Amino acid sequence: MTSLADCWAMDAQDPLAALRERFVLPDAMIYLDGNSLGALPKATEARVRDVIAAQWGKDLIKSWNQHDWIGLPRRVGAKIAALIGARPHEVVVADSTSLNVFKALHAALSLRPGRRVILSDEGNFPTDLYMAQGLAELLDDKHELIVVPPEGIADALNDDVAVLMLTEIDYRTGRKHDMKALTAAAHAAGALTIWDLAHSAGAFPVDLNGSDADFAVGCGYKYLNGGPGAPAFIFIAERWQQAASQPLFGWMGHDAPFAFDLDYRPRQGPGESIDRFLVGTPPILSLAALEAGLDQFAGVDMAEVRRKSIALGDLFIALVEQELAGHGLTLASPRDGNRRGSQVSFRHPEGYPIMQALIARGVVGDFRAPDILRFGFTPLYVRYQDVWEAVQRLRVVMVEQDWQRPEYRRRAAVT
């Protein structure tokens, strides 16, 4: 039996405990949804105010040079690179994850001419699949998206597969793919890989180069704490940077954007050509907020983050099973912490109203159709005692059948 006192003891020994002070966390709320929107770093407000008031307000257009606004996509990209096992010049920040999937897919397909298939799995986030469908239609259906169950990937890899596109962590169950093994399997079949790191970057140490990954994308607003709708990133392995191209020819990807040539010429040069994955004018306010989010990782040992993440998830599973046996909650996540991301999900046929009732009691997770209750554990700011308290409130919701109230069945625009 694990007690609240045990949880206090774990918090007292947590080497990451002090990091919580870097974030704004409402008193009454236990926030277990950092995998959907990361919490606000205390530094962000001042950072954005500085960009607005001191840079935009005082120096106006001169800020592009004077405050190196033009360098932000690369500078912030380099800070992400440090978290995902990439070299500084292998990552830029641009657009949304969806759009970066499109660019990476096109680049991968052109590097594998003659191969027809984009292979993905049912655990991929839908927007990645949609982008592949859009691209395949655009290319006159000469390519095809094939979606298999996660356990069927290895068998589906053959010499018709141009690219294997996967999200490392299943957004519903938290199941973690073996990036290194699957990349090796794809390469053995002659295919390239695109890894979506939406639920990986900032959640645990990612090793793109150690896994020999080709392309990756990811979002800034989950574990990177960059703010709602923060810009996304794209990784292109150094070995592909000269050959890789993408068809969204924007002026920020031009070799000389301020020459205003009438013809597009992609950015050239070692360590520079990744800029051809930029399109339009970079969103400076959002980039500044994302940079503030990334600065919270200064001095943080990602191996320690991973240890705590697994411990928080293990504790949650143990406490739910200890306190809530017989209430119909089924573990949807791998029990083995090494095979999970930084979330734990349970299934329940009444998952939607249960989650609404829980949110009304101050424990914020989220629901994913059809029956998933999803709880994210961000090691930078979630405490062991929060896990205890969350399970206690879930217990009240289940025991009192609080979720039966009609208002909890009302569907909101965003779930």
Contact 156, 186 (CB under 8 A): no
Apex 207 CA angle, 206 and 209, nearest 5 = 150
Nearest residue (CB) to a second copy, 40 versus 206:
40
Nearest residue (CB) to a second copy, 310 versus 357:
357
Nearest distance, CB of residue 344 and a second copy, angstroms: 17
Catalytic residue among 125, 204, 233, 235: 125
Question: How many whole angstroms separate alpha carbon 410 and alpha carbon 353?
Answer: 8
**Is 346 assigned a catalytic role?**
no
Nearest residue (CB) to a second copy, 166 versus 310:
166
Catalytic residue among 79, 103, 374, 393: 374
Nearest distance, CB of residue 163 and a second copy, angstroms: 17
- Amino acid (1-letter code) at residue 269: G
Query: Any idea what DSSP says for residue 38?
Result: P
Structure tokens given for 195? 């890894």
Nearest distance, CB of residue 59 and a second copy, angstroms: 8
Q: What is the SS3 assignment for 228?
A: coil
**Is 368 assigned a catalytic role?**
no
227 backbone φψ class: left, alpha, beta (φ>0; ψ -120 to 50) = left
54 backbone φψ class: left, alpha, beta (φ>0; ψ -120 to 50) = alpha
Catalytic residue among 222, 267, 276, 393: 222
Burial 304-315 (b: 16+ CB within 10 A, else e): ebbbbbbbbbbb
Nearest 5°: phi and psi at 173? -95, -15
Apex 25 CA angle, 83 and 347, nearest 5 = 75
Nearest residue (CB) to a second copy, 109 versus 157:
109
Catalytic residue among 128, 196, 366, 402: 196
**Is 258 assigned a catalytic role?**
no
Nearest residue (CB) to a second copy, 252 versus 310:
252
Nearest residue (CB) to a second copy, 142 versus 299:
142
Nearest distance, CB of residue 233 and a second copy, angstroms: 13
Question: How many whole angstroms separate alpha carbon 344 and alpha carbon 336?
Answer: 11
Residues making up the chain, counted from first to last? 415
Catalytic residue among 31, 102, 215, 221: 221
Burial 28-67 (b: 16+ CB within 10 A, else e): eebbbbbbbbbbbbebbeebbeebeeebbeeeeeebbeeb
Nearest distance, CB of residue 264 and a second copy, angstroms: 4
Nearest distance, CB of residue 392 and a second copy, angstroms: 21
Q: Which residues are catalytic?
A: 125, 196, 221-222, 374
